[in-house]
Amino acid sequence: MSSAEPVKLSEEEQAIYQWQMWVPGFGEQGQQALRNTTVLISRVGGLGSVVAYELAAAGIGRMVLAHEGSIKYSDLNRQLLMTYDGVGVTERVRSAEQRLKQLNPRLEIISYAENANVNNISKLMEGVDIVIDCAPLFQERFAMNQEAVKRGIPLVECAMYSMEAQITTIIPGKTPCLSCIYPVEPPQWRREFPVLGATSGTVGCLGAMEAIKLATGIGKPLTNTLLTMDLASMEFNRWQLQRKSNCDVCSTKE
């Protein structure tokens, strides 16, 4: 998505990404578009770790990672970029950066050992083409939504609970924003909640796919639609969304 002049893929890159460049409509142009794209992934936990790993494998050029704190035992059932040896001693973003670099040494990574908030969100989004929200707390999600709308940056919204998950893609000015869907923080929401790692991984893969579509123009992003899934019953539903004319964040009314 960067306006930088595309650079011809090396022989190594041609070999690594050969199979995905066979995807109809993707080709070398799509691969170059990925290499010229910068994504912000807020939290690299159960959901964000899968998003980051899939995008690193696909050849995204640059990542900004934000996640506070060091690895805990309770991370290990789902946060696939964390390691047992790092429990209590390694920051999550450092572990994520090391694991991602092992997969894709060409990947440029900027890491912040902090969670998104209203005070740092401008810094986190500087130079970013796509934001992928993998944060569990609405304060973080609202901060990212507001800044993304302000800057006109596409935002992929992912969430999960227990064996349920949901995802939508927000294009500022064209689709409902997060505040259209959730005008206020749901009072029942809590920081800790039940979740299976495979639930996080499922919606994480979908989040990575949305980012790839946005970066390359292939396929149709999940705009104006909320995809919900109940993995206990394998039921998937699509819900049409509408912008709210009185939204505090994205409304154009004075």
Give the domain range for residue 169.
20-181+198-240
Q: Is residue 249 part of a domain?
A: no
Q: Is residue 193 part of a domain?
A: no
Tell me what the mean pLDDT of segment 40-68 comes to.
Answer: 97
Q: Is residue 189 part of a domain?
A: no
How many independent structural domains does the chain possess?
1
Tell me what the mean pLDDT of segment 109-128 comes to.
Answer: 97
Amino acid letter for position 142: F
Q: Measured between alpha carbons, how far is 9 from 15 in angstroms, rounded to an integer?
A: 10
- What are the backbone angles phi and psi of residue 234, rounded to the nearest 5°? 55, 40
Contact 141, 50 (CB under 8 A): no
185 — pLDDT class (breaks 50, 70, 90): confident
Q: Is residue 126 part of a domain?
A: yes
Q: Measured between alpha carbons, how far is 155 from 250 in angstroms, rounded to an integer?
A: 13
Q: Measured between alpha carbons, how far is 82 from 62 in angstroms, rounded to an integer?
A: 20
Token pair in block for residue 47? 């959901």
Q: Measured between alpha carbons, how far is 220 from 226 in angstroms, rounded to an integer?
A: 14
Specify the CATH number for the domain of residue 77. Answer: 3.40.50.720
Q: Is residue 132 part of a domain?
A: yes
Indicate whether 55 pLDDT > 90.
yes
Q: Is residue 152 part of a domain?
A: yes
Q: Is residue 57 part of a domain?
A: yes
pLDDT of residue 6: 63
Q: Is residue 224 part of a domain?
A: yes
Q: Measured between alpha carbons, how far is 165 from 9 in angstroms, rounded to an integer?
A: 36
Q: What is the pLDDT of residues 211-254, one digit of tens each?
A: 999 999 999 999 999 999 999 999 999 999 999 999 999 987 54
4 — pLDDT class (breaks 50, 70, 90): low
pLDDT of residue 31: 97
Looking up tokens 């539903």 gives 237
